[in-house]
Structure 1
């Protein structure tokens, strides 16, 4: 057919959705480190420059693909800005404020349930941890953040699972400040205390 357009399709209303679908597929299959913008673009049938145009960095694309109602990097920015001392209390308070928000909670719970499905573990271990959690430790200037931040994540994931997904008492109805006071010493030790 004369004049038929060849090559990858240009930006269109469905392009953003196609990129996000391809990104979810690639991140689930390869993790954030193994997925490439070029591979995501190829699966979406667009040019890699268009992926950058819509989403910027690969980390930003990962966060968009997760479809969270709030960007946890923005929620945690004040935690980082105030430095490592007392960071555990600020970290837990910021986390719990977001999760206790009735407008955010259903989507956040849905995200956690998705992590429990096949492929979801990779999104957590090779996506959410390196894109959101580990950078907090680096930004706080912690030594060995690659060891400290998974320990922090173990506490946070436990709180989220028991309080919001499984609704186990007394965590499910415990006042936020009591929960912070209970967990903060352990989380702070993971952040700044001596590691074995």
Structure 2
């Protein structure tokens, strides 16, 4: 009988994803290594790279989202910071309002509200998805600006999709963009009250 790490098998990808989800949730993104995920799944770390590429890509796969927000945001980011809030909101709302996506997004959102799931958002989604947004837009103080943007988006998710508070739950996308856009744009490019 051979010993050591097993080679790839049909269920290996799923086992790697399960190990990644558990470790990212328990330890956070920064404290989870590809090596630790591979050890938990009982495979060599090169196999993790073979299936998923980078740690960022593995994290996104572990979230099991119906779409990759990095791909959706890429065209917006290429146009620079001016008007980025409105464009991001339109993408965000179109994805969340799509009934085929909503169940998966709601499941993920509810899971991050319970410990240790909050680490998926604060130590995973924020640095993997939101962090690169700040870099791509070339904005100053992205470590302050992007969490402010996230606070608005999370509040909108909670009110519109989870609690279904009216009139937000049934409000037209254009109206929501007009209401939220200026605030999010100010967070992206406006003057910030920073601590000395």
| TM-score > 0.5 by shorter chain | yes
Counterpart check, 1:75 vs 2:72: yes
* Deviation of the 1:28 alpha carbon: 0.9
Task: Give 2:57's aligned residue.
Answer: 60
Task: Give 1:127's aligned residue.
Answer: 124
What SS does the corresponding residue of 1:32 show, helix, strand or coil? coil
Q: How does 1:176-191 map to 2 (within 5 A)?
A: 176-191=173-188
Q: How does 1:37-116 map to 2 (within 5 A)?
A: 37-116=34-113
TM-score, structure 1 length as denominator?
Answer: 0.97
1:57-94 superposed Cα distances (whole Å, 9 cap, x missing partner):
00000000000111111111111011100000001111
CA distance in 1 between partners of 2:57 and 2:23 (Å): 15
- Contact kept, 8 Å, 1:152 with 1:190, in 2: the verdict is yes
CA distance in 2 between partners of 1:85 and 1:116 (Å): 32
Of residues 134, 137, 142, the one that matches 2:134 is: 137
What are structure 2's unaligned runs of at least 5 residues?
none
Counterpart check, 1:173 vs 2:178: no
- Contact kept, 8 Å, 1:134 with 1:150, in 2: the verdict is no
- Contact kept, 8 Å, 2:59 with 2:124, in 1: the verdict is yes
- Across the aligned residues of Structure 1 and Structure 2, the Cα RMSD in angstroms comes to 0.7
What SS does the corresponding residue of 2:49 show, helix, strand or coil? helix
What SS does the corresponding residue of 1:76 show, helix, strand or coil? helix
CA distance in 2 between partners of 1:43 and 1:107 (Å): 25
- Contact kept, 8 Å, 2:26 with 2:117, in 1: the verdict is no
- Contact kept, 8 Å, 1:26 with 1:35, in 2: the verdict is yes
Counterpart check, 1:28 vs 2:28: no
CA distance in 2 between partners of 1:104 and 1:13 (Å): 26
Q: How many residues align?
A: 193
* Deviation of the 1:25 alpha carbon: 1.2
What SS does the corresponding residue of 1:34 show, helix, strand or coil? coil
Of residues 6, 11, 34, the one that matches 2:3 is: 6
TM-score, structure 2 length as denominator?
Answer: 0.97
